[in-house]
């Protein structure tokens, strides 16, 4: 074989035989392709849009000799073509690219129509009724999928015509449908806001190819909004204007004046809000909000005023008498702080109950429920996640649901159906795991609470803050706007658990007890500094040692938590080795670089309101159908269907991040802790991880890493104005005076 110089392109045509690897983030693919003029399949590498075995392509590029993998064809551009041979058509239709047609059905279609099969699907789909097993429903599915593929190809050709990689064509089409080309042409920067995975830099490259200048106002405005959205992912509700200008300059390479003008223009267009009255920030450097976060933060304060200003729905409670009655009813004495909490709920409209594990929060909730139910009050219980709601139900005997379900979220109807005009029907609302609630969800929650209801927020303020923007529970407590009962005493029964004792040790800044010589201990620390050996130890613990000694199921009852996603002991690497150890050999598919197998444990990574599945929900794969290109996932009591192309929002979950585990409790938790996790080694992270374990916690790593984490009690600051707004708005109801500078 004589190799041409890289500048001398060749054009080949053929069909993909096998996709060895593809990265959904950038489309980079390694595949084996059967091409005309070559007896054996060749290796092709390059960027493709949703490549699939059987797809017929014309590719342009050059041959090269890889030092390890040998002869390869580097693809610079490609386009889909129609297969011309019977065998090619059979492979194309049987590849799974067209939902409703798998290998068996492809065989039947080609046997019936021969070389005319593709023309029948394109122009005469009604003839498909002549094929055994194809009815009206399947014809409709095939027509939809065929049209979608045609539209995707149009988007791909459009992008390639502007010398832009078409790797994102599937996602662009999924977002905009037939309007995709019009949207990209008018404002390519919209991609960075609308499509997960396409950042501002990618959109900027596309815009450059389309002729947009660096100083284009559309570009600068989009860059500023992108920066604010990125900051929201870091937990910020607003950002100081001066710092926002600096961050925007780094990305946009534009003058300060242009960025300042663009911020003012975006505020005029109501895409963002400049809060320059001096309440949250000095007027010289005001807070800049994305509009939705400003509405939510100010709305929370306003609805707290509404709740605090209305009378209670239930009649006046004689607190001492109620306490005596409930203690007799429950047949045990409440501690002083517990009595204080029950009195607080009886006498106030809104309160916070915070404390660590073993401090009696559940006992207090049960006492509140007994008293309010005796008064015939309408009671509702909710938590941010399904797992937290289930745990609340089991602990109290009352039905608890997720906040989203309680607020009747409906994707088709346009959001939460419960609101100020259609409030919840309750006299007492208790929310558990309140530290997980972000600014947006809290706004929708308090908006739906009826004015006369009593609202009790329960949570552990020392855990990690919400994944979404804000630090709501901590801000409510800091504001002094509502009464707070803090539980610090660990009750005798709880003191038997080393998990609980060590969690409080960590929270107070002390190294936990790591002596495993006690026979009855439920907390273990296995010293190991080599990351590779840490991973090997975790696999052995999960697959063999813990199930053998404690009887826990390695998939359903043991959860590995990691401080980070990347690295040898990050969630990505751990999921790969744990999948091989715990679920080898089952039928599988590959989505991007992730392998999904039948019976895998998986987690949803972002809210999907259409499916009613939310960020952090865990499930099991119970079905893989190559014919319809569908995956069935069981989430607790619900089975949800995913198209293969939707699997970018699902990950394997043998190992998950500590943040993703918030609100959940597992029989056994295993966690790597290494100095290479330095950026994430914080007290609240390790504390949150330890408190996820119900019966067993095993940490594997370096004692030095534990010491670093326990000493680091200065988590990254989140810019929020809620504490100040609540203090200012609600102070008159509680008679509070506050120092605004101290709350900032």
Helix axes 256-268, 241-252, angle to 10 degrees: 120
Q: Is the dihedral of CA 160, 164, 166, 170 positive or negative?
A: negative
What residue has token string 């002596």? 515
223 and 202 share one domain: no
| Within-domain flag for 496 | no
267 and 198 share one domain: no
Average pLDDT value for residue range 602-624: 88
Q: DSSP secondary-structure letter at 616?
A: T
Q: DSSP secondary-structure letter at 199?
A: -
pLDDT tens digit sequence for 431-464:
999 999 999 999 999 999 999 999 999 999 999 9
3-class secondary-structure state, position 153: helix
267 and 147 share one domain: no
Average pLDDT value for residue range 612-638: 86
Pick the range with the lowest mean pLDDT from 160-164, 432-436, 636-640. 160-164
516 and 664 share one domain: yes
Phi and psi at residue 10, to the nearest 5°:
-120, 155
pLDDT at residue number 307: 95
| Within-domain flag for 22 | yes
Of residues 421 and 414, more confidence is placed in 421
276 and 222 share one domain: yes
319 and 394 share one domain: yes
Q: Report which of 184, 228, 221 is spatially closest to residue 206, judged by C-alpha positions.
A: 184
> CA 593, 597, 602: angle at the middle one, nearest 5?
80
| Within-domain flag for 471 | yes
Last residue of a domain, which of 279, 303, 327? 303
pLDDT at residue number 680: 81
Average pLDDT value for residue range 163-173: 61
CATH number, domain containing residue 259: 1.10.10
Average pLDDT value for residue range 289-301: 96
Residues 6+ apart with CB under 8 A from 308: 349, 350, 481, 482, 730, 733, 734
Residues 6+ apart with CB under 8 A from 64: 3, 6, 71, 72, 73, 74
Question: What percent of the chain has pLDDT above 90?
Answer: 52
Average pLDDT value for residue range 485-501: 85
* Residue 246's pLDDT band (cuts 50, 70, 90): very high
Q: Which two tokens stand for residue 122?
A: 């394109």
- Return the bridge partners of 187, or none: none
| Within-domain flag for 242 | yes
* Residue 517's pLDDT band (cuts 50, 70, 90): low
Q: Report which of 469, 507, 434 is spatially closest to residue 689, judged by C-alpha positions.
A: 507
Terminal Cα distance for the chain, rounded: 70
pLDDT higher than 50, residue 3: no
CATH number, domain containing residue 375: 3.40.50.300
Q: Which two tokens stand for residue 533?
A: 């050996």
Burial class (CB in 10 A: 0-12, 13-18, 19+), 328: exposed
Last residue of a domain, which of 162, 178, 210? 210
* Residue 413's pLDDT band (cuts 50, 70, 90): confident
pLDDT at residue number 718: 94
Average pLDDT value for residue range 69-78: 86
pLDDT at residue number 68: 78
* Residue 82's pLDDT band (cuts 50, 70, 90): confident
For residues 514 and 509, give the distance between their C-alpha atoms in angstroms, rounded to a whole number.
15
pLDDT tens digit sequence for 524-581:
999 999 999 999 999 999 999 999 999 999 999 999 999 988 888 999 999 999 999 9
For residues 336 and 116, give the distance between their C-alpha atoms in angstroms, rounded to a whole number.
83
256 and 380 share one domain: no
Torsion of CA 75, 77, 81, 84, to 10 degrees: -40
| Within-domain flag for 587 | yes
pTM: 0.78
* Cα–Cα distances in angstroms (integers) from residue 698 to residues 222, 496, 576, in the given order: 46, 17, 20
Question: What percent of the chain has pLDDT above 70?
Answer: 92
122 and 205 share one domain: yes
Of residues 386 and 240, more confidence is placed in 240
pLDDT at residue number 648: 83
Of residues 159 and 254, more confidence is placed in 254
| Within-domain flag for 323 | yes
Average pLDDT value for residue range 185-211: 82
Query: Which spans in 169-255 are helix H?
Result: 169-176, 180-186, 190-194, 200-209, 217-233, 241-252
Q: Report which of 331, 435, 421, 314 is spatially closest to residue 375, judged by C-alpha positions.
A: 314
pLDDT tens digit sequence for 355-369:
999 899 999 999 999
117 and 74 share one domain: no
Distance of CA 111 to the CA centre of its chain: 46
Q: Is the dihedral of CA 470, 471, 472, 475 positive or negative?
A: negative
CATH number, domain containing residue 23: 2.40.50.140
Q: What is the DSSP string of 528-581?
A: ---HHHHHHHHHHIIIIIHHHHH---TTTTEEEEES-SSSTTSHHHHHHHHHHH
| Within-domain flag for 718 | no
Q: Report which of 96, 576, 617, 201 is spatially closest to residue 402, judged by C-alpha positions.
A: 617
- Return the bridge partners of 638, or none: 635
Pick the range with the lowest mean pLDDT from 128-137, 177-186, 218-227. 177-186
Q: Which two tokens stand for residue 223?
A: 């860059």
Instruction: State the chain's mean pLDDT as an integer.
Output: 87
Which structural domain range is residue 247 located in? 217-303
- Return the bridge partners of 402, or none: 383
What residue has token string 């046997």? 111
Q: Which two tokens stand for residue 269?
A: 């267009």
pLDDT tens digit sequence for 679-706:
788 999 999 999 999 999 999 999 999 9
pLDDT at residue number 492: 65
What residue has token string 């101290």? 742
Last residue of a domain, which of 274, 303, 332? 303
Residues 6+ apart with CB under 8 A from 182: none
pLDDT at residue number 50: 66
pLDDT at residue number 274: 95
Q: DSSP secondary-structure letter at 248?
A: H
Of residues 244 and 185, more confidence is placed in 244
pLDDT higher than 50, residue 737: no
pLDDT tens digit sequence for 311-345:
998 888 888 888 899 999 888 888 899 999 999 99
pLDDT at residue number 1: 44
Phi and psi at residue 662, to the nearest 5°:
-55, 140
Number of domains in the chain: 5
């Amino acid at each position: 074989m004589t190799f041409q110089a890289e500048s001398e392109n060749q054009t080949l045509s053929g069909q993909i035989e096998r996709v060895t690897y593809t990265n959904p983030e950038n489309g980079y693919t390694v595949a084996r392709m059967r091409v005309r003029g070559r007896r054996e399949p060749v290796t092709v590498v390059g960027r493709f849009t949703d490549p699939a075995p059987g797809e017929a392509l014309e590719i342009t590029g050059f041959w090269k000799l890889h030092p390890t993998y040998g002869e390869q064809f580097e693809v610079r551009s490609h386009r889909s073509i129609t297969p011309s041979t019977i065998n090619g058509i059979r492979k194309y239709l049987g590849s799974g690219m067209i939902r409703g047609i798998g290998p068996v059905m492809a065989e039947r279609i080609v046997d019936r129509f021969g070389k005319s099969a593709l023309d029948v699907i394109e122009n005469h789909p009604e003839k498909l009724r002549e094929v055994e097993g194809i009815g009206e429903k399947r014809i409709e599915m095939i027509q939809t999928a065929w049209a979608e593929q045609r539209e995707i190809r149009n988007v791909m050709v459009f992008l390639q015509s502007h010398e832009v990689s078409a790797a994102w064509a599937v996602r662009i089409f999924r977002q905009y449908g037939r309007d995709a080309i019009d949207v990209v042409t008018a404002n390519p920067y919209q991609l960075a806001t609308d499509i997960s995975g396409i950042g501002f830099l990618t959109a900027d490259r596309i815009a450059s190819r389309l002729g947009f200048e660096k100083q284009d106002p559309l570009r600068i405005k989009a860059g500023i909004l992108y920066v604010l959205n990125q900051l929201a992912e870091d937990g910020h509700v607003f950002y100081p204007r001066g710092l926002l200008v600096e961050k925007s300059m780094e990305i946009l390479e534009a003058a300060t004046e242009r960025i300042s003008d663009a911020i003012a223009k975006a505020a005029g267009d109501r895409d963002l809000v400049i809060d320059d009255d001096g309440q949250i920030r000095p007027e010289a450097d005001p807070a800049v909000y994305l509009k939705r976060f400003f509405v939510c933060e100010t709305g929370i304060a306003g609805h707290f005023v509404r709740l605090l200003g209305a009378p209670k729905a239930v009649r006046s409670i004689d607190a001492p008498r109620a306490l005596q009655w409930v203690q007799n009813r429950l047949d045990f004495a409440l501690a002083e702080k517990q009595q204080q909490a029950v009195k607080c709920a009886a006498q106030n409209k809104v309160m916070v109950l915070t404390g660590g594990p073993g401090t009696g929060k559940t006992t207090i909730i049960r006492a509140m429920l007994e008293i309010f139910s005796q008064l015939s009050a309408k009671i509702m219980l909710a938590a941010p996640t399904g797992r937290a709601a289930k745990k609340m139900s089991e602990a109290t005997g009352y039905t608890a649901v997720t906040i989203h379900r309680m607020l009747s979220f409906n994707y088709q109807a346009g959001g939460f159906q419960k609101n100020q005009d259609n409030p919840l029907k309750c006299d007492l609302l208790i929310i558990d795991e309140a530290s997980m609630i972000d600014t947006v969800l809290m706004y929708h929650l308090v908006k739906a609470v009826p004015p006369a209801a009593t609202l009790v927020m329960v949570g552990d303020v020392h855990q990690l803050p919400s994944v979404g923007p804000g630090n709501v529970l901590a801000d409510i407590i800091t504001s002094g706007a509502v009464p707070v009962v803090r539980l610090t005493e660990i009750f005798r029964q709880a003191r038997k658990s080393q998990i609980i004792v060590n969690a409080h040790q960590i929270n107070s800044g002390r190294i936990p007890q790591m002596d495993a010589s006690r026979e009855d201990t439920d907390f273990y620390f296995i010293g190991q500094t080599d990351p590779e050996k840490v991973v090997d130890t975790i696999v052995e613990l999960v697959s063999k040692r813990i199930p053998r000694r404690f009887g826990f199921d390695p998939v359903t009852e043991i959860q590995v938590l990691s401080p980070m996603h990347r690295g040898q002991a990050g969630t990505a690497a751990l999921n790969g080795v744990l999948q091989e150890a715990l679920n080898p050999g089952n039928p599988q598919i590959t989505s991007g670089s992730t392998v999904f197998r039948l019976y895998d444990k998986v987690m949803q990574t972002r809210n999907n309101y259409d499916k009613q599945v939310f960020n952090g929900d865990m499930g099991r794969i119970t079905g893989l159908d190559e014919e319809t290109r569908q995956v069935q996932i069981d989430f607790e009591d619900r089975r949800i269907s995913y198209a293969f192309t939707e699997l970018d929002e699902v990950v394997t979950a043998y190992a998950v991040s500590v943040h993703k585990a918030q609100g959940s409790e597992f029989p056994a938790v295993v966690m790597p802790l290494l100095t290479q996790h330095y950026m994430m080694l914080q007290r609240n992270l390790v504390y949150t991880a330890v408190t996820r374990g119900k019966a067993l916690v095993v940490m594997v790593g370096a004692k030095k890493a534990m010491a670093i984490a326990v000493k680091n009690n200065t988590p990254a600051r989140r810019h929020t104005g809620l504490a100040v707004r609540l203090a200012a708005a609600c102070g008159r109801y509680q008679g509070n005076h506050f120092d605004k500078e101290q709350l900032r």
